[in-house]
Structure formats: structure tokens, C-alpha cells
């Protein structure tokens, strides 16, 4: 019997489903970068889970030959938490759009960051609600005209990178769907990171943001300076205040215990204190007369 190990290629992770995104959508680039990253890491499809919420980009789990689930709006990270805690050995990748992750899912995002949940979260940021036809999203720049802001968006925009760094994520990177090589490398390092790894990908919506977005973003791009210290939180946050520049690369990267690590520690403490409490014991802490 042959024991030769079959090397997985990017195409090995494709399913028979064909993406239904608009021609030119940045999400095609993100999907292909994910295929390449998975092949580079030789991720086992049977030990990998891809989860999403609702939106154009949240269709992605159906295009990846792993375990996957397309959940409800904004809830990708709640499912990711359950999967990772129940099966810590599983590679968990959550994906979604900026409307999904920063609006209804914003609260879950904040707590996943502060808990340092050991998952990779890839956010496809097109600065608009694409699936529901072009309304203003939390990330839409101030002043931009959309279907729901005819005279210009009056609200300040959320920067997902700033929010991630501020609330405790331990790996934060920014990428561009038009730069396949850099984006693939960022996803590889995010998956390898132990802790909450967030990759914010500028992924233009050619339908509701316009085909010019690729050129606008490309002109702003620069790679993170070689002398940048990714452990310096203030230096990382400075990249979220740039006006005419969009810095891509690993902006923040520190090593801290993940939620899985801390739960394992609590389990060991519990074992050292004797037999586990029964259901009755637990109920009596709330209802002494039970």
C-alpha cells in the first residue's frame, strides 16, 4: 500500500459551487488568496471550519471545501467561539463584510478581540452595504453619497483596524484584494497566530462604490515600513489616522494567552480543587434552599 502524502494545491480547496459575485468584485481576490494560504499551510479540510454571517462576502464558505456554515447576520464570531471552545484543535476561520461585522456584529467583534479568541477573522471591507443594494455602512467615509445618504453620509466612519487594536486583538493586519501576494502572506500569518487574528481587506464593490475604487485605493497603498515595531500599540494605531495613504501589512502583533489557553488553565485549577460540582451544587449557589 502506498503511503505517499498527497500535496494539497489551491484548487484542492475549491467546491463545485461557482461564486455569484458581480464581475470585478474584490471578494474574488480574497477567496483566491485564502485558497493559496490554505495550500501553503497544507490545512486539512476535515480539520478546518469556515464560518460567516450574511452578506455578499458571507457566501464564501460555500466555495471552500472544508466544514462550513453560513449563519445569520453579524453572528459569525459567535459560532466561531463555540466551535473553537468545543474543538480547540480545529482551525477556525470566520469571514464576512464590514456591514455584517461592524454593524449588527460589532458587539461580538469587540468581545472576540478582548477575549483573544483563537480564530482568524477576514473582513472584506467595501465601505458599503452591497447585498442590500448600496446603503451607507458603518465604514462608509463621511460625505459619501449612497442610496441611503443622497446628500452625503453625515456620520463619521468606523475603522475596523482601529477598533481591533483598541479592544484587544493580538494580530491586526490590513490588506488589499488587488495585491494577491501580500494578502496571501497576511492570511498565512494570521492563521498561524495563536490568538485573535484580524485581517481587514479593502475589497472594492464595483457595483455600488464604482470601478474607480481599485485605482483610488491602489494609488494610496504602501507597505508597512520595515522599521515599524508591530508590538507598539500606539505606533499601530497611527496607521488608522492616515489621510492620503493606506498602509498594508501587519500593523500589530503581540503574543498573549488566548481564550483557549485561559480556559485550559481554569480547567486545571478546577481539577486541582477536587471533584467537579454536580448540577445540584451549582443550583444551590443561586437558590440555597434548592
For the stretch 104-155, pLDDT in tens is: 898 999 999 999 999 999 999 998 888 888 889 999 888 888 888 889 989 9
CB 199 within 8 A of CB 217: no
Quote the percentage of the chain above a pLDDT of 90.
Answer: 72
Give the tens place of pLDDT for each residue, 47-90: 999 999 999 999 999 999 999 999 998 999 999 999 999 999 99
Residue 226 shares a structural domain with residue 246: yes
Lowest-confidence segment of 29-33, 135-139, 276-280, 284-288 by average pLDDT: 276-280
Q: Comparing 253 with 272, which gets the higher pLDDT?
A: 253
Residue 35 shares a structural domain with residue 168: yes
In a domain, 5, yes or no: no
> Domain count of the chain?
2
Nearest to 66 by CA among 177, 164, 191: 191
Residue 128 shares a structural domain with residue 161: yes
Residue 143 shares a structural domain with residue 166: yes
Residue 283 shares a structural domain with residue 203: no
In a domain, 86, yes or no: yes
Residue 35 shares a structural domain with residue 159: yes
In a domain, 153, yes or no: yes
Neighbours of 23 (CB within 10 A): 7
In a domain, 10, yes or no: no
Q: Which structural domain, as residue segments, surrounds residue 284?
A: 257-290
Query: In the structure, what pLDDT confidence band is assigned to residue 272 with cuts at 50, 70 and 90?
Result: confident
Residue 177 shares a structural domain with residue 154: yes
Residue 251 shares a structural domain with residue 263: no
Residue 280 shares a structural domain with residue 207: no
pLDDT averaged over every residue in the chain: 92
Q: What is the pLDDT of residue 1?
A: 52
Residue 102 shares a structural domain with residue 184: yes
Amino acid at each position: 500500500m502506498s503511503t505517499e502524502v498527497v500535496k494539497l494545491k489551491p484548487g484542492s480547496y475549491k467546491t463545485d459551487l461557482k461564486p455569484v459575485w458581480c464581475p470585478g468584485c474584490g471578494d474574488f481576490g480574497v477567496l483566491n488568496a485564502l485558497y493559496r494560504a490554505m495550500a501553503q499551510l497544507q490545512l486539512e479540510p476535515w480539520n478546518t471550519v469556515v464560518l460567516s454571517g450574511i452578506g455578499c462576502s458571507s457566501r464564501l464558505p460555500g466555495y471552500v471545501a472544508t466544514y462550513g456554515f453560513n449563519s445569520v447576520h453579524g453572528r459569525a464570531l459567535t459560532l466561531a467561539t463555540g466551535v473553537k471552545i468545543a474543538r480547540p484543535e480545529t482551525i477556525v476561520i470566520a469571514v464576512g463584510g464590514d456591514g455584517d461585522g461592524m454593524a449588527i456584529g460589532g458587539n461580538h467583534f469587540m468581545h472576540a478581540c478582548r477575549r483573544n479568541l483563537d480564530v482568524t477573522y477576514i473582513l472584506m471591507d467595501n465601505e458599503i452595504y452591497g447585498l442590500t443594494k448600496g446603503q451607507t455602512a458603518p465604514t462608509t467615509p463621511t460625505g459619501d453619497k449612497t442610496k441611503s445618504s443622497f446628500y452625503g453620509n453625515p456620520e463619521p466612519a468606523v475603522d475596523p483596524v482601529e477598533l481591533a487594536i483598541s479592544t484587544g486583538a493580538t494580530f491586526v493586519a490590513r490588506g488589499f484584494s488587488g495585491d494577491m501576494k501580500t494578502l496571501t502572506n497576511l492570511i498565512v500569518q494570521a492563521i498561524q497566530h495563536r490568538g485573535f487574528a484580524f485581517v481587514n481587506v479593502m475589497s472594492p464593490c464595483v457595483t455600488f462604490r464604482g470601478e474607480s475604487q481599485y485605482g483610488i485605493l491602489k494609488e494610496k497603498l504602501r507597505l508597512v515600513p520595515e522599521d515599524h515595531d508591530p508590538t507598539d500599540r500606539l505606533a499601530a494605531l497611527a496607521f488608522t489616522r492616515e489621510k492620503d495613504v493606506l498602509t498594508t501589512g501587519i500593523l500589530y502583533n503581540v503574543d498573549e494567552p488566548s481564550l483557549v489557553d485561559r480556559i485550559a488553565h481554569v480547567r486545571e485549577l478546577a481539577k486541582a480543587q477536587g471533584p467537579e460540582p454536580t448540577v445540584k451544587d451549582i443550583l444551590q449557589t443561586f437558590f440555597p434552599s434548592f
